[in-house]
Amino acid sequence: MTVIHDRQSNPAAGDEDRPIGYGRIQRKEDPRFVRGKGHYLDDIVLPGMLHGAILRAPVAHARLVSIDTTNALAHPKVVAVITGKDLLGLKLAWAPTLSADVQAVLVTDKVRFQGQEVAFVVAEDRYAARDALELIDVEYDVLPPLVDARKALDADAPVIRDEIEGRTDNRIFDWEMGDKAETDAVFAAADVVVSQEVVYPRVHPAPMETCGAVADFDAVNGKLTLYETTQAPHAHRTLFAIVAGIPEHKIRIVSPDIGGGFGNKVGIYPGYILAVVGSIVSGRPVKWVEDRSENLMSTSFARDYIMQGEIAATRDGKILALRTHVLADHGAFNATAQPTKNPAGFFSIFTGSYDLAAAHCSVTGVYTNKAPGGVAYACSFRVTEAVYLVERMVDILARKLDMDPAELRLKNFIKPEQFPYANKTGWVYDSGNYEAAMRLSMQLAGYEDLRREQAEKRERGELMGIGVSFFTEVVGAGPRKHFDIVGLGMADGAELRVHPTGKAVVRISVQSQGQGHETTFAQIVAEELGIPPEDIEVVHGDTDQTPFGLGTYGSRSTPVSGGAVALVARKVREKAKLIAGAMLETRPEDLEWEKGRWFVKGDPSVGKTMAEIAMGAHGTIALPEGVDGNLDAEVTYDPPNLTFPFGAYICVVDIDPGTGEVKVRRFIAVDDCGTRINPMIIEGQVHGGLTDGVGMALMEIIEFDEDGNCLAGSFMDYLIPTAMEVPDWETGFTVTPSPHHPIGAKGIGESATVGSPPAIVNAVVDALAPFGVTHMDMPCTPARVWAAMQGRARPPI
Amino acid sequence: MQIPAPFDYVRATTVENALELLARYGPDSRVVAGGHSLLPMMKLRLSRPEWLIDINDLYELDFILRDGNKLRVGALTRHTTLLESEEVAGLFPIVRDAERVIADPVVRNRGTIGGSLCQADPAEDLSTVCGVLGAEAVIRGPGGERILSMSEFHRGPYETAVGHDELLCELRFGIRPRSGSAYEKVERRVGDWAVGAAGAAVTLAADGTVDDAAVGLTALGLDHPLAGAAAVLRGRHPDEELFAEAGRLAAEACDPVADQRGPVDYKRHLADELTQRVLRRACARAAQMQEG
């Protein structure tokens, strides 16, 4: 097993104190970020650059009657105004989504959500572009909006996608997984069945930098350079080639520092396409960067699942089966990014961490007059919803059986010896030791003491809650035989070059939005080759400079690209062995490896370091036959399976009985992501995800009024948590390596976002037990908690 | 980047100069101090002044000074200054209570008491604070200076007695012995507008009974301190029964509206609950001052 160096990083320490490989080292990215020297999309300025702005629909559902751009075009600084009619001529009015649907780039016939793109102004500066939006006259014929997904399939519901021939309703898909008959039979025979509607409201990724693009089309050589806030530069290049008809070798996508992604930057937004059209039309570079309101109102949301859950068990607490039906609100266009053949992505992992006899889920997706999306938001393609459902249901069952929720979980976990474990809905979990993680979490929390404290407080009328959640994530999409996005397989490439002096550059296909790739991928190479991480440059985010791959989302960077990097380093190591053999005039099979050096078996003093071998490779020695004069390699890694990180979380809340305010007092997170490359970065990822979880559990929601107005169009209305709402995070870990991954790593980026909301909500519901509350939906705002205390808990949608 | 509609900008040098500029540019001009309410509204194009008159150089309006039995606070005094002032905290603990929960440190470093009161957002805290403390507002305009009570100054949501050619310059707070005050707010998150808040100021008689009292509510549909609160409380010993009675009174008097922060019944409950809490704390503080 991999040795993990777990010590504080100290930049002043000498090289001998710094891990050459895995360990706790400071991020290579941080100096530029903390000094304000990051280079974000909006920092890009090109000579002669124009600026674009998008006119957006003020209503949710309306027929477009007319657009008059005369006054806008008369603005002295306006260069062009583009409407849907112009795009029809270019065959660009509609673009394919990531889910086999189409989405309007600009409205041609009908507005389908508030904030939808109606026209694009290109002007000499940003201010003029924005001002000119007010000079465009648009006439709308307002239609009744559909904002309540529960009414989407009513006979009298307005048909949102009436442009699709033959479409008479708002149903996108019906999909199911698992054996229904078997599941129903288990339910029919079970001692105990509990059911509950569980709602995961619509929330937003809200990255720090909003979405934007700078398009630079060179009419002379026909090359498009597109700087974009994208998490998937290579996939975008292929899609642009297909959609816009520009040859793929004439497209270069650059994704600079993009100020966070969280899934918000996976898809192609109309603004990106409009920037390209603007550049082609004007012959000059065009920048378009949305403002915060545009980001919140029009870009990819997450969740919006109404889940009817049922759980069956024996009287003594053996969980037998789960079933659920989900109503999924996809907004006006089905633009969900998900790499499976299933329209609900990985939702069928809703069996969670438990050994069940049967399970069945079905999902109905519907259109509504809301922004499209459901891309991600740290959700691993609907794992977030799945884990939330099962972890709420298990808690509700525990209450019903009058069992401790931690005990109930321990009784039902998949056992270590059952791995690889095939669940009832088609997933094969790679490895796990759930009980160890759960027990560690309980030990760190002082679980028994907390329960005692709670009992004492209840005597005094104080409201303290302890919430437990246990999650199994499914990440690292994915094996190309099963997974693709619009036909592109999900393997990832890596190229490694070791320069003559022993310094290296590794080029990867995934794009960093804060995950620390420039550090961790250097550490993977360092671990494999013994070259210090600071001597390894990680190149990413530019399709002209990096190998093909599908990008960063769904916690796939380490599981897929990390595997590629480890394998390419091993390939270089094997080549180095051949070259070292030539240099030492020894047969390669007589050489032995120690980190950074090949030496002669039995004579450790005779050997060559990687730097010496690199110089040798590029030098004048006679190379063995078939060995090129370099120390480079490339691979494309097709993972054999997904990886299944897991964790045990415990949350302690206090609720003010007079006001319903929830205070998260403690949060204990034990994560197992397999091999740990950089514990400090892992902890940072966990801290971020837990904070995210507090936001969703306590405050975040995108609401709409009955007219279809989005009520979360700014950070004044869409709340995200601050340092004041979160406790000091208490983290712990276990290490259960993935058996099929080259370094045993599983991915950590989304674990905490997936695992924390159920722990917090379970804690809130636990605190409210004296009031007979068995469930309440997020967000647990003071008003909603108080309503639950009055016996009037209501779903938020 | 959210881009406001076009506007012009001028920086005032003195109060007189600010008043001249206001007269010159008329009703389409707006004074900007901290700007933390005005600028977001401009960025959302909900507010479109043609001129911004920046008064941040008017250092003459940035002061806290004791003047006999009054505390005078300049309108340009920043929230942070009020929060950190020991003198203010000693005399009027409600101010520190409120300032701690006004927005966040970044906003408090720039935002001013005058700006908060003139913006008169229904969820703004200092209108309630100044209301229950019985503060006076000193306004200067072309006709000279006038001094208004808070009930005259504050006319309701987004509306004050300050004319477009006038400037709020100072707040004056009467210092009374055996008095205490407190403020408490419920918010969905730090920095969000209040779901509801309450403030109370109490003066005790020598025998420990209530001599005078005022209760105000924020964001709960009560523009001025609760009428009749003093009459109900005066002469009685502060105890739980009395606090409960005042709470009921506040719940009946308020007129909240349902919004994303909560429904009417919850907000009415908060009026009751928070009124009891702030009265309890204000009375305890007054008693402490009495003993001290």
Whether residue A450 is found in the same domain as residue A506: no
Q: Please identify among residues 676-735 of chain A the ones whose CB lies closer than 8 Å to any CB of chain B.
A: 698-699, 703, 711, 714, 716-717, 719, 721-722, 724-725
Whether residue B169 is found in the same domain as residue B193: no
CA distance B119 to chain A (A): 17
CA distance A347 to chain B (A): 30
Nearest to A721 among B189, B262, B266 (CB): B189
- Asked if residue B292 is part of any domain, the answer here is no
Query: CB–CB of A782 and B186 under 8 A?
Result: yes
Whether residue B96 is found in the same domain as residue B21: no
A608, exposed or middle or buried, with CB in 10 Å at 0-12, 13-18, 19+? Answer: buried
Which structural domain range is residue A233 located in?
41-143+210-258+265-298
Nearest Cα residue to A264 out of A212, A303, A332, A206: A206
pLDDT tens for each residue of B271-284: 999 999 999 999 99
CA distance A56 to chain B (A): 14
A314 close contact with B: CB closer than 8 A: no
Whether residue B78 is found in the same domain as residue B29: no
pLDDT at B182 over 90: yes
pLDDT tens for each residue of A294-327: 999 999 999 999 999 999 999 999 999 999 999 9
- Asked if residue A188 is part of any domain, the answer here is no
Nearest Cα residue to B55 out of B115, B5, B119: B115
B36 close contact with A: CB closer than 8 A: no
Are A756 and A685 a contacting pair, CB within 8 Å? no
Beta-bridge partner residues of A214: A227, A287
Which structural domain range is residue B93 located in?
59-174
- Asked if residue B2 is part of any domain, the answer here is no
Under the phi-then-psi rule, with left for phi > 0, alpha for psi from -120 to 50, and beta for the rest, what region is A331? Answer: left
- CATH number, domain with residue B209: 3.30.390.50
Query: CB–CB of A291 and B269 under 8 A?
Result: no
- CATH number, domain with residue A288: 3.90.1170.50
**A contacts of B6 (beta carbons < 8 Å):** 127, 131
Spatial separation of the C-alpha atoms in residues B75 and B112, rounded to whole Å: 7
Last residue of a domain, one of B127, B148, B174: B174
Query: CB–CB of A722 and B260 under 8 A?
Result: no
- CATH number, domain with residue A503: 3.30.365.10
Whether residue A341 is found in the same domain as residue A217: no
CA distance B159 to chain A (A): 21
Query: CB–CB of B104 and A292 under 8 A?
Result: no
Block residue for tokens 């479109």: B48
A292 close contact with B: CB closer than 8 A: yes
B68 close contact with A: CB closer than 8 A: no
Query: CB–CB of B266 and A782 under 8 A?
Result: yes
Global confidence as pTM: 0.96
DSSP type of residue A204:
-
Last residue of a domain, one of B156, B174, B192: B174
CA distance A157 to chain B (A): 26
Are A253 and A543 a contacting pair, CB within 8 Å? yes
Whether residue B165 is found in the same domain as residue B72: yes
Q: Which residue, among A55, A130, A703, would best test binding to B if mutated, counting the most B CBs under 10 Å from its CB?
A: A130
Query: CB–CB of B2 and A658 under 8 A?
Result: no
Residue A602: phi, psi to the nearest 5? 85, -10
Last residue of a domain, one of B174, B198, B213: B174
Query: How many domains are contained in chain A?
Result: 3
Whether residue B76 is found in the same domain as residue B155: yes
pLDDT at A698: 98
**What parts of chain A have a pLDDT lower than 70?**
1-17, 375-378
A787 close contact with B: CB closer than 8 A: yes
Whether residue A103 is found in the same domain as residue A235: yes
pLDDT tens for each residue of B158-180: 999 999 999 999 999 999 999 99
A523-561 exposure pattern, b = at least 16 Cβ within 10 A, e = fewer: bbbbbbbbbbbebbebebbbbeebbbbbbbbbbbbbbbb
- CATH number, domain with residue B82: 3.30.465.10
Whether residue B253 is found in the same domain as residue B194: yes
Whether residue B81 is found in the same domain as residue B164: yes
Nearest to A783 among B3, B104, B195 (CB): B195
pLDDT at B290 over 80: no
Whether residue B246 is found in the same domain as residue B275: yes
Last residue of a domain, one of A250, A280, A298: A298
Query: CB–CB of A786 and B104 under 8 A?
Result: no
- Asked if residue B228 is part of any domain, the answer here is yes
Query: CB–CB of A783 and B1 under 8 A?
Result: no
Are A202 and A301 a contacting pair, CB within 8 Å? yes
Whether residue A292 is found in the same domain as residue A382: no
Query: CB–CB of B3 and A703 under 8 A?
Result: no
Last residue of a domain, one of A637, A652, A672: A637
- Asked if residue B226 is part of any domain, the answer here is yes
Whether residue A601 is found in the same domain as residue A581: yes
- CATH number, domain with residue B41: 3.30.43.10
Query: CB–CB of B190 and A725 under 8 A?
Result: yes
CA distance A38 to chain B (A): 18
Query: How many domains are contained in chain B?
Result: 3
CA distance B266 to chain A (A): 6
CA distance B193 to chain A (A): 8
Whether residue B102 is found in the same domain as residue B168: yes
Name the amino acid, one letter, at B67. Answer: D
Whether residue A243 is found in the same domain as residue A352: no
Can you spell out the DSSP letters for A67-94? EE-HHHHHSTTEEEEEEHHHHHHHT-SE
Whether residue B165 is found in the same domain as residue B187: no
Last residue of a domain, one of A637, A658, A688: A637
**Strands A50-56 and A286-289, how do they pair?**
parallel
**A contacts of B2 (beta carbons < 8 Å):** 291-293
End-to-end CA distance of chain A: 48
Whether residue B248 is found in the same domain as residue B215: yes
Whether residue A703 is found in the same domain as residue A717: yes
- Asked if residue B81 is part of any domain, the answer here is yes
Nearest to B260 among A126, A131, A717 (CB): A717
- Asked if residue A202 is part of any domain, the answer here is no
Whether residue A81 is found in the same domain as residue A123: yes
Q: Which residue, among A659, A662, A703, A785, would best test binding to B if mutated, counting the most B CBs under 10 Å from its CB?
A: A659
Whether residue B102 is found in the same domain as residue B149: yes
Query: CB–CB of A781 and B261 under 8 A?
Result: yes
Q: How many CB pairs under 8 A join A and B?
A: 67
Task: Give the H or E element holding residue B119.
Answer: helix B113-119
Query: CB–CB of B261 and A699 under 8 A?
Result: no
- Asked if residue B3 is part of any domain, the answer here is no
A89 close contact with B: CB closer than 8 A: no
Gyration radius of chain A's alpha carbons: 27
Spatial separation of the C-alpha atoms in residues A259 and A485, rounded to whole Å: 24
- Asked if residue B245 is part of any domain, the answer here is yes
Q: Please identify among residues 242-271 of chain B the ones whose CB lies closer than 8 Å to any CB of chain A.
A: 260-263, 266-267, 269-270
Can you spell out the DSSP letters for B196-207? EEEEEEEEE-TT
Whether residue A650 is found in the same domain as residue A759: yes
- Asked if residue A171 is part of any domain, the answer here is no
DSSP type of residue A370:
S
SS3 A656: coil
A208 close contact with B: CB closer than 8 A: no
